[in-house]
Amino acid sequence: MTLRAPSSASASRTRLSAALQGALRASRRGSTVRERLPALPAAGLMLMLAGAAVVWDPLGFNGYTAAKAATAAAGLALVALWLARRGAFVLPARAWPVAAVAASAVLMAAATIAGDSLWRSLLGAPSRLEGLVAWAGFAAAFAAGLSLMRARRDAAAASLVDAAVVAVTAVGAVGVLELVGVEFDADLIDYRGRVRSTLANPAVVSGFLILVGPVAALAVGRRGLWRWAGAAATVLAVVNLAAAQTRAAWLAVIVVCAAAWLIASTGRLRMLIVAAGLAVVAGAALSGRWQQLGHDLRGRAAIWEAAVASIAERPFLGHGPETFTMAYGRHVDDEAVREFGSAALDSAHSDLLDFASSFGVIAAVLYLGVLVWVATLAWRAVRSGDPFRVAVGVGVACYALMQQAFFAHVSTEAVWWLMIGFLVADSDTPARRLPRIGAALMLSAASVMAVNALSSARNDRIIETAVASASETEAYELLEQAASHRPFDDLSHILMGDRLSRASDIGLITEGIERIRGGLEHNRGHPLVALALVDAHNQAHRVTSDAGHAERARRAASELIALQPSNGVAHLKRGNANWYLGDLDAARSDWERAAYLLPEAPEPVENLTILDAGTTHTDPASSAN
């Protein structure tokens, strides 16, 4: 057989093929990963991790929570849409997880319906957004993580690492800018030099970094630019974790790293775990926060004691989610308020206790079973030696441990449940494909979560405009608009009381009183909404000298004090009402009680001085809160 020289056309095709293959090899030199998710779910993961971590709404009063929740939920919806279209949604098929989830769902729904505030428990408070709707979104995040890994394991893992690298780098870079003196948002709470980055709170920053940081560090094992990006993300995570000075996060990392070192299957993995633990120890050792550890532990113990008492008050169904503010004030004692301040807290500062207070003891036992299951999955992941499983397992375990002494954030919580789904997918747990109706429910849960967060963000913008307004009338009208849109949100009513306490239009004040009273119906026992009503009545008396308003202020304050005897601000403002009514003995008694409960507040002492001087024409001070 005679061999023929290739024609010019076939030679051209050969050269073109070789060029394309060379270009493909060149594009892969920067990574050992050969596969990534399609654009839709990859974009969804990027939004959940990176988008939700860095997005903020500068036009909002609290432009972090709602904006991040909306971004995370939108990303989750994209992932859910892709899975639903492919019919790839799955859930664990074993009988006990299904039974536990069903029982938990029934108990959580019952607690929400029977709770202290139905709509607040369903849709969430404006500063937290962790009502029942958010929990349905977390379930969808878990199912999405499990389903993605079962459908496209390597691609899902690669895309999660991509998103983690971008997220940690962005958060870490802003944190470093903060360290060198660049102010990101001057209106945020000052945490005395602690880094808050794009997440507005050092504890939330720390929780995010210990959850996502280990996954971002996996990029160090890639090639080219990805290796450098992974190294930069790792360094930034360690620096920011040290600078955020959150002791619960440090302790969680140290404990998990110690446990992981004991069960790791390879020497190289043990070295990496030791290096991570030592880096955190070094950062922790440089902080002066340990000097106030005893004081802070006593404060945390006081919160937990009040949380346990609130659980004992309603052990079976709890008070409903997002109602801890109401429960806490009923159970905190005088000494705790005197030493640590505030009779109004929105979280039990412990994930398990907060869950029990919200949904009852039985639901909390089931949730504890979930935490034990998660610990088992993390243990198996570390034992496997697989880098991705180890990183996800360590991150999930660190976050879960930290949350037992802190509070959750809706966007990081969604990522935590997503990563638990990844762990379950890599375990030996059998899964069953969801029918179309089940997939539709998962997509709906993510979508409703996003819509609710966008609704809250809209209100947040209105509230910011109201706060910035110089006109009391304009501010009130804007706050009334916000209250009409979401009457169960406490913030609009609290700020309404503040503006009305300085207004001079009695018609406006009277209208506002009725609006705040309606808000109190949705937030029964909420101390700050109740105090807003007292402020409005006291101001109405100052404008009109009508003793009826002072009497109603005294009655509203008395109702709050009956529920929360240690509320010093309520005593202060009831004392003012007593002064207006000429009941000077009662005013003295209330102001003395307020001075005891609020040792650092000047107003009660100033009022007692006025009383002792016999000055009747001076209005008492009432701005403590």
- Given this model, what pLDDT does residue 130 score? 94
Of the listed ranges 71-75, 121-125, 162-166, 616-620, the one predicted with least confidence: 616-620
Which of the pair, 6 or 404, is modelled with greater confidence?
404
The answer to whether residue 420 scores a pLDDT higher than 80 is yes
Question: Residue 14's pLDDT band (boundaries 50, 70, 90)?
Answer: very low
- Given this model, what pLDDT does residue 615 score? 66
Alpha carbons 381 and 375: distance in angstroms, whole number = 10
Cβ neighbors of 604 (< 8 A, separation 6 or more) are 568, 572, 575, 591, 592, 594, 595, 598, 624
Question: For residue range 499-538, what is the model confidence (pLDDT) as tens digits?
Answer: 999 999 999 999 999 999 999 999 988 999 999 999 999 9
Which of the pair, 543 or 17, is modelled with greater confidence?
543
Question: For residue range 294-352, what is the model confidence (pLDDT) as tens digits?
Answer: 777 888 888 999 999 999 999 999 999 999 998 898 998 888 888 877 767 888 999 99
Q: Residue with structure tokens 């969604």? A: 414
Alpha carbons 39 and 79: distance in angstroms, whole number = 10
The answer to whether residue 583 scores a pLDDT higher than 70 is yes
For the residues 417-437, what does the mean pLDDT come to?
92
pTM for this prediction: 0.90
The answer to whether residue 79 scores a pLDDT higher than 50 is yes
- Given this model, what pLDDT does residue 100 score? 86
The answer to whether residue 612 scores a pLDDT higher than 90 is no
Question: Residue 625's pLDDT band (boundaries 50, 70, 90)?
Answer: low
Q: Look up residue 319 and give its DSSP letter.
A: S
- Given this model, what pLDDT does residue 51 score? 93
Alpha carbons 128 and 366: distance in angstroms, whole number = 23
Asked if residue 46 lies in contact with residue 168, where contact means CB atoms within 8 angstroms, the answer is: no
- Given this model, what pLDDT does residue 34 score? 63
What percent of the chain lies above the pLDDT cut of 70? 93
For the residues 23-44, what does the mean pLDDT come to?
66
Asked if residue 569 lies in contact with residue 587, where contact means CB atoms within 8 angstroms, the answer is: no
The answer to whether residue 82 scores a pLDDT higher than 90 is yes
- Given this model, what pLDDT does residue 176 score? 94
The answer to whether residue 15 scores a pLDDT higher than 50 is no
Helix (H) or strand (E) holding 432: strand 431-433
Cβ neighbors of 496 (< 8 A, separation 6 or more) are 476, 479, 480, 483, 512, 515, 516, 519, 532, 536
Rounded to the nearest integer, the mean pLDDT of the chain is 88
Amino acid at 525: G
Of the listed ranges 291-295, 413-417, 426-430, 563-567, the one predicted with least confidence: 291-295
Instruction: Name the percent of the chain in helix, strand, coil, to the closest 5.
Output: 75, 0, 25
The answer to whether residue 1 scores a pLDDT higher than 60 is no
* Chain-centroid distance, C-alpha 616: 48
Question: Residue 214's pLDDT band (boundaries 50, 70, 90)?
Answer: very high
- Given this model, what pLDDT does residue 13 score? 41
Of the listed ranges 187-191, 311-315, 366-370, the one predicted with least confidence: 187-191
Alpha carbons 407 and 526: distance in angstroms, whole number = 20
Question: Architecture of 469-613 per CATH?
Answer: Alpha Horseshoe (1.25)
Question: For residue range 434-477, what is the model confidence (pLDDT) as tens digits?
Answer: 999 999 999 999 999 999 999 999 999 999 999 999 999 999 99
Asked if residue 509 lies in contact with residue 543, where contact means CB atoms within 8 angstroms, the answer is: yes
Question: Residue 24's pLDDT band (boundaries 50, 70, 90)?
Answer: very low
End-to-end CA distance of the chain: 99
Phi-psi region of 385 (alpha: psi -120 to 50; beta: other; left: phi over 0): left
- Given this model, what pLDDT does residue 21 score? 44
Question: Residue 28's pLDDT band (boundaries 50, 70, 90)?
Answer: very low
C-alpha dihedral, 579 to 583 to 584 to 589, nearest 10°:
-90
- Domain boundaries, given as residue ranges, for the chain: 39-448, 469-613
For the residues 235-257, what does the mean pLDDT come to?
91
Q: Residue with structure tokens 């090639």? A: 223
The answer to whether residue 43 scores a pLDDT higher than 60 is yes
- Given this model, what pLDDT does residue 23 score? 36
The answer to whether residue 275 scores a pLDDT higher than 60 is yes
